[in-house]
Every structure is written in C-alpha cells, then in structure tokens.
Structure 1
Amino acid sequence: MTTSLQGLLAGWITGQRWFAGKGRAIDDLSIDSEIEIASGDPALLHLIACVRQGERRTRYQIPVGLREHLPDRLGHVRIGTWRRDDGREVEVYDALHDSALTGHLLEGMAADRRFDGLGFHPAHGVEIDTSQRSLVLTAEQSNTSLVYGDTYIFKLFRQLNPGVNPELEIITALADAGSAHVAKPYGWIETELQGEPTTLAIMQEYLQNANEGWSMALTSVRDLYACPEDMPAEDAGGDFAAEAQRLGVATAQVHRELARAFPTGTIEPPEIKRMTERFRRRVDKAVSEVPRLGEHADVAAEAFDRLADLGHEIPVQRVHGDYHLGQVMRTMTDWVVLDFEGEPGQPLAERRALDSPLRDVAGMLRSFEYAARHLLAGHPNAAALEGRAREWSERNRAAFLAGYSEGGGRIRGDDAVLLRALELSKAVYEVVYEARNRPSWLPIPLAAFR
C-alpha cells in the first residue's frame, strides 16, 4: 500500500529523537521545499517539512533517499513506499544512513555547488577529500551528525529557524583569528527562509583522538570513589584538577577571542534588576511544579537580591551559551570547544545576543557538580560517598576558576555575586528538568541550594 510523501513523513517523524513536538498530535505536515540533489537509483531529495501542532509551526530538514529496492542494511531507517508522479513506486528512507548518497554532500561542498536555492560552500582556503565514507553518530538529540572517515564531522540541523546559526559565525571568526580552541571549519550548507540566509549544516575537523571532558571527569570520579576514604582527592588516581585548571585557561582565552571578534557591550543597573526579576519568576514557576524546591527558595532569593543591588554595569559579549563538560574535547595539545550554537530550543536572536561570559563559567561549574554526583543516583553507598563527591566538586571547581583567572578571565569583586546568581538560576532550570525526566537525579541540582 502506498501513501503520499507527506503522509509517510507524518507517520515517521514523531518517532525521531530530534522531533521537538513529542506527546502532541500532528494536525498537518506540508513540504515547503523539495530539491533533488541526485537522481537515479538511489536518488537523494532534500526536504524542508513544516509540521503544525495547534498554533505551533516547526520546520524540519529531512534528506531522504529513494530506491526501488531497499537493502537490508537500510531497513531500520525505512520511511515507507511512495508512488511518484511518474507512476514509479520507490522506497523512501532516511538518506543520512546511506553512504552511497551522503557522498553527494561532500562533493557539493567541495565544488561550491548550488541546487535550486540550496547552497553548498567550502570554508576559505580548504581542500575537501570527497573519497571519505560516512557513518551516522547516534548520541545526538536535536541534530544529526555524520563522521566522514577520520577526517570530518558533519552536523545537520534538524529543526530550522531563519537566520545564520551562531555556531557557524563563531567557529569561522575564531578559526580566521587563529584560535587553538576550535575545530577547523571545512564548509557549510545554507538556504533562504523567510528572506534570511539560513544555516542547514556545518562541517568541521573530526577530533579523532580526542577525549570528551565529561567522560574524563567521570573516570576521575570513579577512581576517587574506589579509593580509601582517608585518601585525599589529589592523591587518587585520575585526579582531574590539572585538566580542570587547563580548561579554565582555555575558556578564558576563548572568551577573550570572542570579545575581539564580535561587538561587546554593557548591561546597566536597571537591566540587571529586570534580569533578577526574570530569575525570581523562574523560581516561583519552578516551585509550583517541584514543591521540594520551596524549601531552598530563600537561598536563591538572597542571591538574586544581592545581584539586584549591584550599582554598576556588567560587561557583555558573545558567549558559548550552553557550556558544559560534554561540549569540550581534550586533544593531545589542548582543550577544544564544540557546539557554539547555544541552547537549540531558544530563538536564534536570543542565542546570538550578548551575555556575560560568567554564564558560561556558571554552566561549567554546574557540570562539575553533575560529574561528581550523578554516579550517586541509586548507588548503595551514596550517603557514605557524599563527602567524596563534595570534595571532588570543590577541588575541580576551584581549579577551573583559578585557570579562568590565569587565562585572563574576569572574576573579582562583585563578579562573584553575578556568578552565584547565574549558577542558582541554572540550578532552578535543572530542578524542573530532572523532575520531569530523571527524578532520581533531582538531588543533584537541589544540592546547589545548600
């Protein structure tokens, strides 16, 4: 049995991890754009689909493959059978899993091609090896990434918003400035949505032999938990403090590079007060959903009161916006920062807005807390290990802050007031998230209010 391409996509899209409208019925799915990148068998179509759920309309990018006969290796990404306008029946599937089709993306980028409004662009001065074969990474939630050989990582944005993605802006500017802390950009794909150039995908150097910060931190925590209780954290195998300090230096250097590459500004005291009011409203809303937070609301209120009383301006600039241990990789030489797109669920204008660099610092400090404590969830000796978790977190937070200052980052005087408020605001968000998604992890953000 065949059905329309829109009908096939409507039945398939709700099961994809990157679909943002889970739990709500789809009222309509239309195809805003259909561009043929490669013809024949297999063929490659680039689709932009618009999903309507109530008043909400969301665009998604969906490259699909078409084959008369689908091989077993692609059966897990089959979308359905479709009768084309010429009467031929074809099998429709997620093209990103087919290396016979994803090579066209590399070739288009290397050749600086255009396909009826779809632009493939190489970065300035690069050569792209089009012989590399792709493999889909499975860990991502909001995007889909391919690794080509051991050379490139290609990130395709599934949910589309009109405008240039902040990650493309930032990695291009920092690479042009010679930054050692970004992966080399190789190219991007763009189209036009609502009259604005819109980023569809970005390709960068694949850091094959690098280690993720989160994994390194967890290894360190496990090593500490396995040591005798009277052994100090600095003597335990896998101590992370030296790396935390280097990460702080790298973070400060990236902030300085961003301040040189993009405009900067200040937030005046009246805007600071409005910001603290937003923080307070977030607490009130969170307490109504997670009553356990109410026991600690006075801690947040005190921190926000101190911030509101600041009588001077706060410097702002472009920042990462979603900074944590999962966004950094340790290469043989230094730390590299990834994913400058900000929080994917926020509008592009907010993600590109100037902010205090201490927001990134606060995000990383919260990440150290998570690394120290998340292994305690469900652990039979959680109470006995609580002190060890606190010791690891305090040691690595201090090392990171020392490195940040060493690298030229500003944390002095009243900066500590802003940093504390930003940390607690982040923890409030975490409380709501964990209550909804991982209740056993709720003690982690609640510990921030002690």
Structure 2
Amino acid sequence: MLGELLAAWIGRQRWFGGKGRPIDELSIDSDVELTSGLRHLIVAVWQEGSRDRYQILLGERDSLPDRLSHSLIGTIGDVYLYDAVHDADRTSWLLDGMAHDETRSGLRMRHVPGVTIDTTPRSLVLGAEQSNTSLVFGDAYICKLFRRLIPGVNPELEIVTALAARNAPHIAQPYGWIETDLDGTDTTLAIMQEFLSTANDGWDLALASVRDLYASLPELPASEAGGDFAAESLRLGAATARVHQELAQAFPTDVIEVHEVKRMAEGFRRRLGRAVAEVPELRAYVSAIEAAYHEVELLTNEVPVQRVHGDYHLGQVMRTPTDWVVLDFEGEPGQPLAERRAMSSPLRDVAGMLRSFDYAARHLLADQSQAADLEPRAQEWADRNRTAFLDGYVEGGGVITRADAALLRAFELSKAVYEVVYEARNRPSWMAIPLAAFRPRGI
C-alpha cells in the first residue's frame, strides 16, 4: 500500500528525475524510524529497465494541518502520510542528530569537528530548487537534502570540508552532514552549511546592473550607467583565482600531456558534430568553432589540472557585505560522480563564468521585440564584465597565458554548443543567446 502511494506521488515532484516516463516498480530499500511520527525512506524507482534511488522524509499524523496539506502523500487507515521536510515540528531531528553525532540503523549524522550546532532554530523549505530540497534553519544554517541518491561522497561535502579545514575564504562554513552506506559505499544524504542571510545572489545582482544599463540614456556608456557591475566582476575574478589556489593545495594536482590535450579537442569536435546534427542552426558557425578547436590541437605544452568547481556561473556565487562566496561544489548536474570529482583545467570554471556574463547580458532580451536595438548594449555590458572578471582572475593569482587563452576559448565555445542544444530542446526562442558566442569578439 505504501509503495503504491509513493509511486503515485513521487512522479509529481519537481526533484524527480524520471518525469514523463512510467514507473514500472517502486520498492522501499530502507525504512528507518527517526522519531515518533517521522521515518527516513530510501526508495528504488524502476523505469524502462533502469533504477534510481530517492530519499524521502515520511511524516505520519492523525490529522494534517492546513499548512501541510500541499505535502500530503496519502492515507493508510486513519494515518496521514506526508513529505515531512515541510514540517518544522519534525525536522529538528536534522539539527539534533548532527549536533550529537547520532547513528541510527545505518544513518550516520555527523558534525564538523570543532563546530557547535544550535538545535533551536525552526526550518523553512526553500522553493526554487529542482533536484534537491534545502531547509533553512533560522538565519544560521541551510541543510541540503540530496533527493536522488548516487553512491559515493558528494563533491560539495568533500570540497567545503577540506577548504574549511584550511580556513580558506570565499566558502560557506560547513557544519555537518548525514550519510549512509549505499551499494557498500559511503554515500552523502545531506550537508548543512552556513546560511548567508545577508548575501545577494550573483545572478540577481548582474541582472539588476543590466536593467539599469538598458534603462539609461542610449549614449551613456556602460561604465557611467547606474549599477555598473564591473568592479564586482573584478572582485569575483580575484575570488575565483583564490578558490582555485586553495583547491590546488587541498587536493592532488596533475598535468595533461600534449597527446591528451589533442584528445580533449577531439572530444569537443565530436560533441559539436552531434550538436549540429540536432540543431542545424549551428552549421553556419562550424568553421569558426573548428578553427578554435584546432588552436588547441596545436598546443605543445602540458595543461595543469586540479579539482575545480565544475558548474561555475553567476547563480553559484553570493555577494556578502564583505566579499564573494562560492557555493554548490557538486559539479555539473546529471554527470557521473567520478566525472564530477575528476581533475580538470581551472579554465573550465573561468569559461563557465564568461558564458554566464553573456547570459546575464541577453537574458532580458529573450522574447522581446526591441532585442535588436538593445543588442549592442548587451554586448557592451558582457564585454566590460568579462574583461573585468579576467583582469581580477589574473590579479588574484590565476594564470592565463597565450596558450591558456586558446584553451579557454575552446572551453567557452564547447559550453556554448551545449547551451544551443539545451535551448533548442527547452526554450527555442532563447537560442540567440548562446549563438551570439560564435560571433567574432576580442575577449
């Protein structure tokens, strides 16, 4: 009975990865009672011969208050079953368990050595996430529950705890985590970090700057428009370089031999071929993209690699009253855990942020009739902030040699190719944003 209720409910959740496909079977792999009226479930969902596992906090009540009606899963007899992440009366177990290093039927709740966790704040669920669920406890903590479970230590937990142990700046302090064994492997279920209650999202700040520019007099340059973002981009570049330096000291580093660099370029080219087959609009730019990839094939130097962020953009950084903080070191969503933990060139992160500046500049023009008139202003804003970010990165100790510039351009174009395919599948009217990346530019 419970399995049937969960199967009917889970397909409607925004964090469920198998939307649009029928559920062939759902089984309960783990069912742990945490406290009265609260159970921790790990369920296996089978679809078209493949299995994914998800984490659910199952609440039980004799009656369900209106504030929890949206979280109802179903009823068995006189008992209401619901998604208990929304129930602040139940979620205090997260804080209690981590504060006291509890272990319960295979669930291990741990706190970072040397920190003290206040167990009194009540929780509130953030509503913007797609693949995870985050609970904010007062103005002190944010706890991210990983809904879809992948065996292994989550890269974010691995990285932020290592950097925190070095007293590295530009990260949110980790406080604790929850783990279990999945397929015989330590697997991260949740991580709790400092909640940056007074910080502003980098993407929102960038969009505010772009709006100010579009609203200013046409003859006013971006450097003189209200809300100019270039100084922040410069600081963000320096912060990014510092994070890369800290990662290189906290984790092993290596180099990619010249023949491996050529294989990297071949990989870029294969992805381009698949993209062109799916999105014919890319064909007009193939020769320019191929030329950039060929520059990488001509490189004769080894390429340093290390742990990187892996999914770096303006939505992954927060501006506090004092500096920039980098969040979400999980790596690119949907990629295997081994890939997300693998070493790569730091230029991959730099390229991701450069693409984010282009998206910020043109995001407000999508589906707008005056887009053509404002395009020069968008290009001006993007170029100004890209330059500032790169200047800050170098000033902060990041390295971008002439050879690096060729690899950076290839990373950026490969990312733009991916974006074109994504927009073609999901938002066709937005394809102009990544397609602009293939026009000649000096940055």
Could you tell me how far 1:55 is from its partner in structure 2?
2.4
Seq. identity, %: 66
CA distance in 2, matches of 1:124, 1:374: 43
3-state SS in 2 of match to 1:312: coil
CA distance in 2, matches of 1:325, 1:287: 27
Deviations 1:64-91 (A, max 9, x none): 10111111111111011125xxxxx411
* 1:86 equivalent in structure 2: none
Equivalences for residues 365-384 of structure 1 within 5 A = 365-384=354-373
Preserved CA contact (<8 Å) 2:367 2:430:
no
Could you tell me how far 1:143 is from its partner in structure 2?
0.6
* 1:98 equivalent in structure 2: 87
3-state SS in 1 of match to 2:379: helix
* C-alpha RMSD over aligned residues: 0.8
AA aligned to 1:46 is H
Deviations 1:210-248 (A, max 9, x none): 011000000000000001111010000000000000000
Q: Equivalent of 2:130, from 110, 128, 141?
A: 141
Preserved CA contact (<8 Å) 2:57 2:85:
yes
Equivalences for residues 177-196 of structure 1 within 5 A = 177-196=166-185
> Structure 2 length as normaliser, TM-score?
0.98
- How many pairs align? 439
Deviations 1:260-317 (A, max 9, x none): 0000001111211221111111111111111111111112111111111212210000
Could you tell me how far 1:380 is from its partner in structure 2?
2.5
Is 1:37 equivalent to 2:34 in the alignment? Answer: yes
* 2:374 equivalent in structure 1: 385
Equivalences for residues 156-235 of structure 1 within 5 A = 156-235=145-224
AA aligned to 2:57 is P
Could you tell me how far 1:425 is from its partner in structure 2?
0.5
Unaligned runs of 5+ in 1: 84-88
Could you tell me how far 1:148 is from its partner in structure 2?
0.3
Deviations 1:28-72 (A, max 9, x none): 111111111012xxx111111111111221111111101111111
The verdict on how the C-alpha distance between 1:55 and 1:272 changes in structure 2, with shifts beyond 3 A counting, is: farther
3-state SS in 2 of match to 1:100: coil
Is 1:76 equivalent to 2:67 in the alignment? Answer: no
* 2:100 equivalent in structure 1: 111
* 2:61 equivalent in structure 1: 67
CA distance in 2, matches of 1:271, 1:50: 38
Q: Equivalent of 2:41, from 36, 41, 47?
A: 47
Preserved CA contact (<8 Å) 2:123 2:135:
yes
Preserved CA contact (<8 Å) 2:229 2:385:
yes
CA distance in 1, matches of 2:177, 2:43: 20
Could you tell me how far 1:407 is from its partner in structure 2?
0.5
AA aligned to 2:278 is E
Could you tell me how far 1:440 is from its partner in structure 2?
1.5
Is 1:260 equivalent to 2:243 in the alignment? Answer: no
3-state SS in 1 of match to 2:266: helix
CA distance in 2, matches of 1:390, 1:384: 11
4+ long deviations beyond 2 Å: none
AA aligned to 1:302 is A
CA distance in 2, matches of 1:36, 1:416: 55
Deviations 1:133-163 (A, max 9, x none): 0000000111100000011000000111111
Could you tell me how far 1:428 is from its partner in structure 2?
0.7
